[in-house]
Amino acid sequence: MFEVEAEMTEPIRALLVGAASRDAMSRDAATRNAASCDAASRDLRELRGLTDTLGFETAGSVLLTKTVPSPQYGIGTGKAAEISDLASRCEADCILFDFEISPTQQRNWEKLTGLPVYDRQEVILRIFSARARTKEAVLQVELAKLSYSLPRLAHTYGDMARQRGGSYGSKGSGETQLELDRRAVMDRIAAIKKELKKVSRERATLRKRRGKVPVPSCALVGYTNAGKSSLLNALTGASVLVEDKLFATLDPTTRRLEFAGGGEILLTDTVGFISSLPHTLVDAFHATLEEAVLADLILLVVDISDPACREQYRTTIEVLEEIGAAENPRIIVLNKIDALDTTVFGSDPPERFPAELVPRAVRVSAKTGEGFDQLIAEITAALLGDEKEYLLPSERSDLAALVRRSGSVLEERWDDNGIYMKARISGRTAALLREFLLS
C-alpha cells in the first residue's frame, strides 16, 4: 500500500478531491458557499502542497461543496461516478482524498475507478516515511504506518478465503492469510513500541544528565513550513535542513543559544504540525513531541505571510493541548515578516490573525535577522527572570562561574566586599544564590 512502482519514471499524476466539513455541508447555501468553501479551498491547496512534497503531479482537482453521505463511497453514487469519469479524462494515476475514507470505502473506490486511492492520512504517512532519517524517526513512522494499515489489511487481498493448515472435519479450517498477517503486524507493533520505550528511557537519561547543569530549555513549535528550522539555524548557527516543503525535517534537533551577556539555553526544533494530523502519528511521535511538553518555554512560530495563519495557529494550539503542553509558558513568534504582501495586508499582520495576540507577539524574519534582538530579550526575560543584584563571598568564585554559565550577567565587579553581580538567573541557580541576594 505504501510502495510506489520503481519502474515508473514519469511523475505519478494525482486527482485531488476536497470537501467542506459535514457540518458546513448541512448549513444553508449562502453560508456554505462562503466560509465553508473558503476553508475547503485552503485544505485543498494544502493537499496540493502535500502532493508536491510527495513528488506527485497534480492532474486535476475537484471541490465538493455539497454531498449526500453514503456508506459505499462516503459521498453519493452519482458524484462518485463523476469523479471516476474525471479521473479517466485527466489521465490520473491515482486519487487523493483530503478527508478520511474507511477501508471499505477505499476498496469500493478502487473497484469503481480501477486506480489506487489514498486519503489525507496516507499521504502524510508517505511523506513521513520518505523523510525519516534517524533510527527513532524510522521506528516512529513504521509504527504509524502499521497502526494505520492494520484495519486495511483486507484491502491487499482479492481472495479472502485463502487458508493455511487444518482440514475440515478434523483439525478445523485453519487460519486465513489475513489472520496470519494481522498477527504479524500486531507482533511488529508490540516490538516497535518496546524499542521506542527504550529510546524514550535513553532520552530521559540524557535529559537528567543535562539537568545536573541548570540550562533552561526552549522548544520551537508550529505549523509545518512556518520556518522553525530556519529560525534555529539563524539563532544558533546550526545547519538543519531547510526546504520550502511541508515536513522538511522530522527529527528534533537541539542546539545551544548563547547570550551576549553570558549564559545559554537549549533550543530544540520539533516536527511541524498540520491540520488533521493522523492520531497514529501523534501517538508514534510522542517521544519526540515530549521535548515540547517538558520545555521551560515554547516559541510558537507562525508564518505571518500565509493568509491561513490564523487557522494554522489554532491547529498548533490544538496539538499542544492534545500532547499536554498547552499550559507551558510561550512566546508567539510571527515569522517571515520579510515576505508579507503589503499590497494585500498593508504593514500590519493579516486581520485573520487573532488581534489580541498581535501586541504580545514578536515579529521576526529568519531570513534577514530582523526582530532578533527583541526575540532574544523576550526569551531572556521569560527564562531567566528579572534583573537582580547579588554579593557573593570572594572565595566563592565557583558561584560566579555558575551564574555566568546558567544566567545572563549584566554587570560584574570584584572588590573588598566580595563579588558584586547584576544578573538574570532562574531555577536551581536562583534558589542556590537566594541567600546572597541584595535587597
**Confidence (pLDDT) at 339:** 82
247 shares its domain with 392: no
380 shares its domain with 392: no
Q: Which of 53, 85, 118 is the last residue of a domain?
A: 118
105 shares its domain with 167: no
285 shares its domain with 336: yes
379 shares its domain with 393: no
Q: Which three cell numbers stand for residue 406?
A: 546558567
Structural domain contains residue 77: yes
Structural domain contains residue 44: yes
Residue 372 belongs to domain with CATH number: 3.40.50.300
Task: Give the structural domain span for 260.
Answer: 212-384
Structural domain contains residue 70: yes
**Confidence (pLDDT) at 318:** 86
Report the number of distinct structural domains present in the chain. 4
176 shares its domain with 70: no
**Banded pLDDT at 32 (limits 50, 70, 90):** very low
**Confidence (pLDDT) at 23:** 46
31 shares its domain with 109: yes
> 239 or 343: which carries more pLDDT confidence?
239
Kindly report, residue by residue over 209-262, the tens digit of the pLDDT: 666 656 778 889 888 888 888 888 888 876 655 555 566 556 677 888 887 766
> 404 or 211: which carries more pLDDT confidence?
404
85 shares its domain with 145: no
> 274 or 415: which carries more pLDDT confidence?
415
**Confidence (pLDDT) at 76:** 87
> 211 or 438: which carries more pLDDT confidence?
438
Taking 80 as the threshold, does the pLDDT of residue 169 lie above it?
no
**Banded pLDDT at 4 (limits 50, 70, 90):** very low
Distance between CA atoms of residues 293 and 165, nearest Å: 49
**Banded pLDDT at 16 (limits 50, 70, 90):** very high
Query: What percent of the chain clears pLDDT 90, i.e. is strictly above it?
Result: 13
**Confidence (pLDDT) at 350:** 52
273 shares its domain with 394: no
Kindly report, residue by residue over 53-103, the tens digit of the pLDDT: 888 899 998 988 776 778 888 888 889 999 999 999 999 999 999 888 888
174 shares its domain with 232: no
Structural domain contains residue 7: no
Taking 50 as the threshold, does the pLDDT of residue 7 lie above it?
no
Instruction: Report the predicted TM-score, pTM, of the whole model to 2 decimal places.
Output: 0.72
Structural domain contains residue 124: no
Distance between CA atoms of residues 6 and 11, nearest Å: 11
> 355 or 378: which carries more pLDDT confidence?
378
330 shares its domain with 220: yes
